[in-house]
């Protein structure tokens, strides 16, 4: 084989490898940033690289865990649209912009604990169910919980109606609570916010907990929202569903 043929073959192989990755969907990572000392505020970062544009992005969400709503000034978004922009620069920019809120609520003082994680990369994992203990302990002292998510169909509206006939919402139920059967509804969609961007499915992605000084607990259920992405691929973005549990 000539040098020119060898180079051409190498280029074609590289293109064949790169093409599936370029159209593999945009599944964001998340990182918990912590709780306020009283557990009433929780923050996390979502970050990745957009499929299609290739722009790195980072978003910091700060939530009122009692009201299940964003704090004023949240979410804090950053996207690096410069030539050769990096994920590091987008994340640094988002953290810089969010720093006044992060510092005001002392989130670094109370990181909380990622007690369960169900990534989309784990083959064979059940996307709609997750069992966990709320804090590390020997078996006799554990408090165990189980979550179930059920998807619900809604008629597509807004920009989605030109792309899909139906979009998906979800209900989230705690079916085991401190080791006992339960049926606590943590979330039940009555409508689909436009911010979910034509959702097509959901996964229970993990749980972050905080045990407060009075013995009460805050559980933040991380739900991965799957939505229609670039050229028919799937995007994944995160929402956090809070629940408070008495001592």
Query: What does the pLDDT look like over 2-42, one tens digit per residue?
Result: 544 444 444 333 333 334 444 577 999 999 999 999 999 99
For position 13, what pLDDT does the model report?
39
**Would you call 85 helix, strand, or coil by DSSP?**
coil
For position 3, what pLDDT does the model report?
43
For position 95, what pLDDT does the model report?
97
Helices assigned H by DSSP within 66-191 = 87-104
For position 165, what pLDDT does the model report?
95
Cα 60 to Cα 135: distance, rounded to the nearest angstrom: 25
What is the rounded end-to-end Cα distance, in angstroms, of the chain? 73
CA distances from 72 to 39, 64, 96, 113, 180 (A): 17, 10, 17, 25, 37
For position 16, what pLDDT does the model report?
38
For position 10, what pLDDT does the model report?
41
User: What are the per-10-residue average pLDDT scores of the chain (247 residues)?
Assistant: 45 38 77 97 97 93 97 97 94 98 97 96 95 94 96 94 95 97 98 93 98 95 95 94 95
For position 4, what pLDDT does the model report?
46
Cα dihedral sign, 164-166-169-175: negative
pLDDT digits (tens, 9 = 90+) for 135-156: 999 988 899 999 999 999 999 9
Q: Where are the domains of the chain?
A: 25-245
């Amino acid at each position: 084989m000539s040098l020119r043929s060898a180079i051409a073959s190498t280029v074609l192989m590289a293109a064949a490898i790169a093409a599936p990755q370029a159209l593999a969907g945009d599944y964001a990572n998340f990182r918990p940033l912590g709780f306020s000392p009283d557990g009433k505020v929780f923050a996390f970062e979502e970050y990745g690289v957009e499929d299609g544009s290739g722009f790195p992005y980072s978003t910091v969400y700060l939530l009122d865990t009692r009201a299940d709503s964003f704090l004023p000034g949240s979410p804090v978004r950053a996207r690096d649209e410069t030539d050769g922009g990096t994920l590091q620069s987008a994340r640094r920019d988002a953290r810089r912009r969010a720093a006044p809120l992060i510092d005001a609520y002392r989130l670094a003082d109370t990181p909380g604990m990622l007690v369960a994680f169900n990534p989309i990369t784990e083959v064979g994992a059940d996307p709609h169910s997750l069992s966990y203990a709320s804090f590390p302990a020997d078996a006799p002292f554990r408090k165990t919980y189980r979550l179930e998510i059920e998807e619900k169909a809604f008629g597509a509206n807004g920009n989605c109606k030109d792309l899909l006939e139906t979009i998906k919402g979800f209900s989230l139920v705690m079916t085991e609570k401190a080791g006992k059967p339960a049926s606590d509804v943590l979330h039940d969609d009555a409508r689909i916010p436009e911010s979910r961007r034509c959702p097509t499915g959901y996964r229970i992605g993990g749980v972050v907990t905080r045990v407060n000084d009075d013995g009460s607990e805050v559980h933040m259920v991380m739900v991965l929202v799957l939505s229609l992405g670039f050229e028919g691929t799937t995007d994944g973005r995160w929402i956090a569903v809070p629940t408070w549990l008495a001592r």
